[in-house]
Structure 1
Amino acid sequence: MTTLLTELADAPTRYEQLGVVQVRGLLTTDEITRIRDVFTDQVERDSSLGHDDHVPEDDVLRRYPRFVHPHRHPDTEAGRIARSLMLDRRIFDVVESLIGPAFAAQSMFYFKPPTARGQAMHQDNLFLQAHPETCIAAWIGIDRCAADNGGLAVVPGSHRIQVLCPEPADESESFTNIQVPLPEGVEITQTELEPGDVLFFHGSLVHGSRPNTSDRFRRSLIFHYVPQASREVAKFYNPLIARTGEEVSIAESADGGACGDGWQPGPH
């Protein structure tokens, strides 16, 4: 089994090799507690920040929808936290050590309560369409994340594959309806994160998660970044944000990208 835990000094080399690294305890216990409390209070009090994934009325994800771009809602405490951490030096420094100067592109928060479906295997840059350089994710564990509560599974080395075009997914297992086909012989690594750990992974890395079969939530706060060397990104992600807080827009990528005109990039 591939080891993903990495010291910061070794992260660039490991990232180049694997396309994914795990940094232990980048956020403090107090920070994680505040994030967990604020976002959970927000969704239970007012889920209007939630993204409509067209799940059935009786689906638990109807009550706990994922938040997409909460940083664009500074009128809420959850939105202010998302924007602050999206530009936090600790996270941005690691991102830029891996991909060079970057812009922040997206924030997301997943609640994934018990019984929630997972998300089939996919690649992030299929959605962000950052070109010619791909995106990177910073995936922060808010709860302990393991196999039983639907923690991420990743395919180390798959960042070299580039973009795989999607096919239908098993919607009894996944709340999304697409997945990418796994090449033969690849190794799937189940991640295990403690609260405050951060996974950084390449936009072409194949990853996904299984349903939450535990009695615990699997909450996570996720940011995406694109290199400043990228000249275009899907419309949904403009404006980008420089680490100084300045908003920046770059050219919009054509719908479809490598997967043809029928593919519409957007939130994932």
Structure 2
Amino acid sequence: MTEALIALTEEQVNQFRTEGYIVIKGLFSQEDIRTIEDTFEEMSHKAVPGYFEPDLSGETDDPLKRYPRVMHPHRFNETSKKYLLHKPVMDVLADLYGEEALAAQSMFYYKPPGSRGQALHQDNFYLQVEPGNCIAAWTAIDAANEENGSLLVVPKTSEHEISCPEIADSTESFTSHFVKPPKDQKAMPVIMDKGDVLFFNGNLIHGSYRNKTKDQFRRAFICHYANASATHISDHYRPLFRQDGTAVDLEINPDGGPCGVEFDMAYPH
């Protein structure tokens, strides 16, 4: 490697390049986790049109209607923007990219008891970062395991081309897209403790289990980034931000991807 690493070892960077993902233990302090918990607990009791629209009637049988994911909370909540640009995360990303990272998206998943998982998919199908790729930073706000719906990854699929998805099983997935893993490659669970962060490549095939518990949430703060040398991204992820909060407005990617321009690319991860 030609440049000095900031946060990782060469072994860790090589693992990311080979496997397509890496878990960094305890990257968020327990104080940071409590701040995020408190922020999204307060947020869960009110709607933010266009970003978070829970069914607060008390009449829904679908836990994900009461606790849907929050999209782009950094656009209206300063705590979310602070942790989107969290220096320990940005330092890891700089090592993985070999250059500065640009923050493109934030999300919060409550994943309440009994909720469906998410079918296997690839992130850069949606973000369309070019040249380069997106990287996700998936922070465990609760410990994640096979019972409460941990993330699933298909190792070594980071070099797998972006695929046009099939239709997912709506009884198990709350999203409609499914990418079939290559033959003889299987999804494996990623077991995480509170404060751990999973970083993974935008081509990596991944998804999540259903939350099979009756009393455990599996909350996660999830952000997506692009490399600073990228010139294009999907319109839904602009503007991007440097670590200092400066906005960066990449060009809109006009490429329809493997499904063509008529396919609905607007369904964010």
Q: What TM-score results when the alignment is normalised by the length of structure 1?
A: 0.90
Match of 1:86 among 65, 84, 102: 84
**Partners of 1:93 and 1:152 in 2: CA distance:** 23
- Asked whether the 8 Å contact 1:255–1:263 carries over to 2, the reply is no
**Partners of 1:98 and 1:259 in 2: CA distance:** 29
- Asked whether the 8 Å contact 1:17–1:157 carries over to 2, the reply is yes
| 2:74 matched residue in structure 1 | 71
Amino acid at match of 1:190: P
| 1:125 matched residue in structure 2 | 124
**Partners of 2:85 and 2:124 in 1: CA distance:** 21
| 2:17 matched residue in structure 1 | 16
Deviations 1:192-227 (A, max 9, x none): 110000000000000001110012000000110001
Amino acid at match of 1:253: N
- CA positional deviation for 1:229: 1.7
| 2:146 matched residue in structure 1 | 147
- CA positional deviation for 1:241: 0.6
**Partners of 2:68 and 2:143 in 1: CA distance:** 20
**Partners of 1:231 and 1:252 in 2: CA distance:** 9
SS of equivalent residue, structure 1 residue 205: coil
CA 25–188 in structure 1, closer or farther in 2 if over 3 Å, else same: same
| 1:58 matched residue in structure 2 | 61
- Asked whether the 8 Å contact 1:118–1:212 carries over to 2, the reply is yes
SS of equivalent residue, structure 2 residue 41: helix
Matches within 5 A, 1:18-33: 18-33=19-34
- Asked whether the 8 Å contact 2:148–2:216 carries over to 1, the reply is yes
Amino acid at match of 1:111: Y
**Partners of 1:167 and 1:247 in 2: CA distance:** 35
Matches within 5 A, 1:25-44: 25-44=26-45
**Partners of 2:86 and 2:14 in 1: CA distance:** 23
- Asked whether the 8 Å contact 1:51–1:68 carries over to 2, the reply is no
- CA positional deviation for 1:258: 2.5
Deviations 1:75-128 (A, max 9, x none): xxxx21110011111000001100122210000000000011000000000010
| Unpaired stretches in structure 2, ≥5 consecutive residues | 1-6
- Asked whether the 8 Å contact 1:238–1:250 carries over to 2, the reply is yes
SS of equivalent residue, structure 2 residue 212: coil
- Asked whether the 8 Å contact 1:11–1:98 carries over to 2, the reply is no
**Partners of 2:264 and 2:94 in 1: CA distance:** 28
Matches within 5 A, 1:1-268: 8-9=8-9, 10-46=11-47, 48=49, 49-50=51-52, 57-73=60-76, 79-99=77-97, 100-214=99-213, 215-254=215-254, 256-266=256-266, 267-268=268-269
**Partners of 1:51 and 1:66 in 2: CA distance:** 9
RMSD: 1.7
CA 96–262 in structure 1, closer or farther in 2 if over 3 Å, else same: same
**Partners of 1:111 and 1:18 in 2: CA distance:** 27
**Partners of 1:21 and 1:205 in 2: CA distance:** 12
CA 255–265 in structure 1, closer or farther in 2 if over 3 Å, else same: farther
**Partners of 1:8 and 1:22 in 2: CA distance:** 11
Of Structure 1 and Structure 2, the greater helix share is in 1
- Asked whether the 8 Å contact 1:25–1:197 carries over to 2, the reply is yes
**Partners of 2:132 and 2:258 in 1: CA distance:** 14
- CA positional deviation for 1:243: 1.3
Percent identity, please.
39
| 1:3 matched residue in structure 2 | none
Amino acid at match of 1:23: I
SS of equivalent residue, structure 1 residue 81: helix
**Partners of 1:151 and 1:64 in 2: CA distance:** 17
Amino acid at match of 1:71: H
Q: How many residues align?
A: 254
SS of equivalent residue, structure 1 residue 61: helix
- CA positional deviation for 1:264: 2.5
Q: What TM-score results when the alignment is normalised by the length of structure 2?
A: 0.90
